[in-house]
Amino acid sequence: MSADRPTSTTRRKLRGFLATLLVGIVFTLGGCLAVFVGVHRTTDAAHDRSVPAVLAVYDAQLALRQAHGAALASFSAGTRLLASPGEDYQNQIARAGQQLAQAAEDNAAGESGSRDIQVVEASVVTYTGLVERAHAYFAQDGGSARGTATLWDASTLLEEILRRLDALGGKQLAALGDQADGPWTRGEMTLLWLGPVLALLALLVSAHRFLRRRFRRRLNVPLLLAMLAVVVMGATTAMSLWSAHQLADARADTRQATLDRKMQLAALSARDSGDLAALLAAACGSPGCPDTIARVRGDTNPTPAPTGSPPPAPAPTASGTAAASSPGFAEAGARHGEDATRSAERAADSRAGEVVLLTAALFALAMVALGLQPRLAEYRFSQR
């Protein structure tokens, strides 16, 4: 019995290594896959929905503001266009509709966001109807006063639309923030895969040292290849850290793009306020007109505005007018929007990591069995 004890102990040790390594590989694969898939589902949602939705909302705002500016410019110039307030106006309204449809398709703000988009779409229909009515008045002899009054109503409604779109953009941006700060993108998730990977590597090293000491063989190639496969599993899962970092960059670029667009909207608003004030000054002769024009221009201490009128806009200073015509804000917003899209695309690119993880795990299982089974067979033969 005593002569058989070393052999029995070695066999038990080998069988223990084999069972523990096989279970360890499966457990490590589970942790790696959970984190990798969790991160990339999050980044996929940001790339497919949140980032495009945020950008589409603010692009819709810009298109509506530019359409309004085009209508004001045509009316201020006194051009009598037969079909509409101008081709530029029509193109911008069409662009706004496309962006709203894109925002509805990519909406990441749930039912609240969907309701906001539906309200905005209905309000845009009403707004375009008012502009068309104003155009009809301006096209008539002596109809400038009624046209200006109708245009004032359209301007009031536009401000409400833009405020609702601003709130909608904030909801989409909050959804993107929840994704970037979600549970799968937190640093604590690293422990879920890094701990098992390091423990499995330590166990493989221990098994390799045991075989070298017991069987007098310097290298066990299958176990070394199993170690390499586990390293590949860890490296592949570590890509999720890079993806989370790219998602954070996408959020930062998206925020910057929204700030650039808001600056552009403010500059366009200042320009439009001047055009609308000029139309009011030309068409309005009642005693209350100076107060109305003051509110449009944004002068200090105007007479309190009646309920439902648009908020005071910044006074159209020379710098504001230059900013409105300068491509600086537009270029910056477009550049940061493109950067956000590229960062989100890089974050969502899994590079077939799931396939790599499964392949590496299966390879590691095979190599562990190939490295230990022959040694077990040798002891089974020696016992006979």
Residue 42: other Cβ atoms inside 10 A:
24
pLDDT in tens, the chain (384 residues): 444 444 568 788 888 999 999 999 999 999 999 999 999 999 999 999 999 999 999 999 999 999 999 888 888 766 555 556 788 999 999 999 999 999 999 999 999 999 999 999 999 999 999 999 988 888 887 777 888 888 889 999 999 999 999 999 999 999 999 999 999 998 888 999 999 999 999 999 999 998 888 777 778 899 999 999 999 999 999 999 999 999 999 999 999 999 998 998 988 888 887 777 777 777 665 544 555 545 544 543 443 444 433 344 444 443 444 444 446 778 888 899 999 999 999 999 988 999 999 999 999 999 999 988 877 776 664 544
Maximum C-alpha span of the chain = 120
Instruction: Indicate the domain borders of the chain.
Output: 5-383
Please tell me whether residue 308 adopts helix, strand or coil conformation: coil
Contacts 24+ apart (CB under 8 A), 86-91: 89/131
Task: Decide: residue 286, CB within 10 A, 0-12 exposed, 13-18 middle, 19+ buried.
Answer: exposed
Residue carrying structure tokens 């705002």: 61
Token couple for 72: 């004001």
* Neighbouring residues of 117: CB distance < 8 A, sequence distance ≥ 6: 100, 103, 104, 107, 168
User: 153 with 127: CB under 8 angstroms?
Assistant: no
Residue closest to 45 by CA, chosen among 3, 98, 87, 107: 107
